[in-house]
């Protein structure tokens, strides 16, 4: 069973992935990946190792890009990330949550 810290991070990623896809506001679509990025940094290496198909380094780093370069963020790229990349992350996180319940 994962620690409370890891479980909390898993739930934060799942919840914010859903929020990013459900809200049609650019602000929400950029804020949710920031939170996902930070929560991913709290996952244990074992969780990441179970999902080597995911670009964990990029997931963990995107928050810094969004925070530091907020004035230059391409809306199309954010939406593409939300719509094309988050579903795979969401599936992996759902599997982790299910495995640990």
**Low-confidence winner among 11-15, 27-31, 95-99 (lowest mean pLDDT):** 27-31
- Residue 91: pLDDT band (50, 70, 90) is very high
The pLDDT of 88-94, averaged and rounded, is 94
Distance (Å, rounded) from C-alpha 10 to C-alpha 60?
A: 13
- In this prediction, residue 24 carries a pLDDT of 60
Tokens 């810290």 map to which residue?
5
DSSP state of 71: G
Can you spell out the DSSP letters for 5-24?
Answer: HHHHHHHHHHHHHHHHHH--
Give percent of the chain with pLDDT exceeding 90.
49
- Residue 2: pLDDT band (50, 70, 90) is confident
**Low-confidence winner among 22-36, 37-51, 75-89 (lowest mean pLDDT):** 22-36
Q: Where are the domains of the chain?
A: 4-99
């Amino acid at each position: 069973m994962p620690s409370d810290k890891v479980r909390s991070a898993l739930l934060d990623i799942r919840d914010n992935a859903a929020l990013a896809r459900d809200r049609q506001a650019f602000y929400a679509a950029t804020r949710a990946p920031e939170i996902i990025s930070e929560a991913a940094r709290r996952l244990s290496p074992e969780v990441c190792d179970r999902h080597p198909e995911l670009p964990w380094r990029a997931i963990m780093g995107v928050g810094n890009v969004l925070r530091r370069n907020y004035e230059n963020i391409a809306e199309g790229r954010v939406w593409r990330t939300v719509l094309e990349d988050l579903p795979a992350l969401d599936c992996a996180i759902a599997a982790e949550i299910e495995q640990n319940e």
